[in-house]
Amino acid sequence: MAKLRKDFLWGGAVAAHQLEGGWQEGGKGVSVADVMTAGANGVDRRITDGVVAGENYPNHEAIDFYHRYKEDVQLFKELGLKCFRTSIAWTRIFPNGDEDEPNEAGLQFYDDLFDELHRNGIEPVITLSHFEMPYHLVTEYGGWRDRRVIDFFVKFATTVFKRYKGKVHYWMTFNEINNQADASSTFALFTNSGLLIKPGENAAAVMYQAAHYEVVASALAVQVGHQVDPANQIGAMIAMVPFYPASAKPEDVMKAERAMQSRYWFADVQCNGRYPAWLTNYQHAQGYDLDITLADLDVLQAGPVDYIGFSYYMSMAVQAQADEPASYAYRDANDIVANPHVARSDWGWQIDPVGLRYAMNWFTDRYRKPLFIVENGFGAIDQLTADHQVHDDYRVDYLRAHIEQFKLAVEVDGIDLIGYTPWGIIDLVSAGTGQMDKRYGVIYVDKNDAGTGTLARYKKDSYYWYQQVIATNGDDLTAVTPKES
């Protein structure tokens, strides 16, 4: 029976804007994350017109990793991490995005961070763009709706591939590039692509244009990354939320199939190097006037990714509506229905460990590329006890159930899995709500939604459990008794 690779990359995942803070340190520019206020469970974050005095922007300080990363890397080392997934804040390297020359202080920060990780035996796994494009590119170019942003991104990618040659081997281009797929979320359009939809604009058409430029930029980055260092492994990063049919009714099955196609055509393009026919037909039928050139299509063919990085938190179920159109296209929230067979988190995320194994089989059958689970985790309210402990057995239960399923995918189904980096290994700012109290970490950070706290770090029960999991290469998933407070 197949086993997890001996060099399996057990790790933890974060993103620059969600933990670094230091939003104006070292010449950093303003990013899209810097103009998003704090929301709450069920309350959307607001996008402000630039940074407005008096508003609460949780990413500005985050957990101050910018100043405290050495202390945090020691906690990661003791935990046994083999790799650490983070992103490079584009705005530290090109503060506005369209400069000719990069910002040396920003480049030096990541040199120092990557050196510190290597000194402690931890491999950096780097996302080029994780919800943090320069805000200047939004105000001056309209975000990814402008073809010139391809060149800015490729310049950024080329700069960091060259600078960190030999220090970084695993890369991903765009975090959860497919989050924007149904074009209905203001948040996703802004964080993924810097898009603010104008009155009268068709959001889907704008999204398809921006996403096209992104997949072209991704394919160009893959080519440059391989030229700079043939040892580079450059992946896609896909938000995997399997869509199940709500019933065995054929129309529901067709609806689920189209929902999967609609969310994962990004992976089709990034892995296969071409658009699927149904999508090209759909875009034509809708009358979208898209700037997709023959030269672009050649670029896509020439830049397939090496592996599929993906996040997995939940699954969803969809149903056809009575007046379902021939396209079966996603229309509104009524397409999505609750799945009575799975539980939900306090934020309504459906908990479905078997869905992870299903997703891994689905990816493998479709693309035949190695997989890397680069996000998975359980956002919950934690209680810090007076003696600084956190008894987060619910988090251990969630992670254990998912690890059990990916082990089955490897051992029974023969799937090639590079590693596993649970999300928010250290508590950080939630991307979706801007909260601190929606916690994912195995390391607690003393800061709350109000922005108060000492920023001290404490090991949760899940820290000791994950330490054992890593030490046994996933063989021992049983509970452990915390050894120290």
Q: Is residue 375 annotated as a catalytic residue, yes or no?
A: yes
Using CA atoms, how far residue 373 sits from 81, 105, 161, 219, 440, in Å, is 15, 31, 22, 21, 16
For ligand BG6, which residue of 65, 367, 423, 466 counts as binding (CB under 6 A)?
423
Cβ 347 to ligand BG6 shortest distance, Å = 7
Smallest distance from the beta carbon of 112 to ligand BG6, in angstroms?
Answer: 23
Of 328 and 440, the one with the shorter C-beta distance to ligand BG6 is 440
- Selected binder of ligand BG6 within 4, 9, 11, 15 (CB under 6 A): 15
x/- string (CB under 6 A) for ligand BG6, residues 225-254? --------------x---------------
Within positions 160 to 179, which residues make up the interface with ligand BG6, using CB under 6 A? 175-176
Q: Shortest Cβ contact with ligand BG6: which residue? A: 432
Q: Does 434 contact ligand BG6 by CB under 6 A?
A: no
Inter-residue contact 158 to 228 (CB < 8 Å):
yes
Helices 393-411 and 461-471, packing angle to 10 deg: 20
Helix (H) or strand (E) holding 371, with range, is strand 371-375
User: Can you say whether residue 129 is alpha, beta or left, with left for phi > 0 and alpha for psi between -120 and 50 degrees?
Assistant: beta
* Residues 127 to 156 in contact with ligand BG6, rule: CB under 6 A: 131
Paired tokens of 354: 């078997």
Tokens (6 digits) for 150: 């391809």
Q: Is 20 in the site for ligand BG6 (CB under 6 A)?
A: no
Q: Look at phi and psi of residue 97 and say left if phi exceeds 0, alpha if psi is from -120 to 50, else beta.
A: left
Asked whether position 375 contacts ligand BG6 by CB under 6 A, the answer is yes
**Calpha distance 164→156 (Å, rounded):** 12
Instruction: Fill in the per-residue mask, 79 to 118: x = in contact with ligand BG6 (CB under 6 A), - = not in contact.
Output: ----------------------------------------
Alpha helices, DSSP H only, in 16-64? 16-19
Given the structure tokens 């021992």, which residue do they identify? 476
**Residue 379 interacting with ligand BG6 (CB under 6 A):** yes
CA distance 454 to 383: 16
Let me know: does 246 contact 319? Beta carbons within 8 Å. Answer: yes
| Rounded Cα–Cα distance for residues 404 and 407 (Å) | 5
Q: Which is nearer to ligand BG6, 175 or 283 (CB)?
A: 175
Q: Which two tokens stand for residue 97?
A: 């995005």
Determine if 400 is a binding residue for ligand BG6 (CB under 6 A).
no
Catalytic pick among 99, 176, 251, 484: 176
Active site residue 251: no
Element (H, E) at 353: helix 353-367
Report, in Å, the least distance between residue 143 CB and ligand BG6: 18
Least separation in angstroms between CB 125 and ligand BG6 = 13
> What is the set of active-site residues?
176, 375
List contacts with ligand BG6 (CB under 6 A): 15, 18, 131, 175-176, 239, 311, 375, 379, 423, 430-433, 438
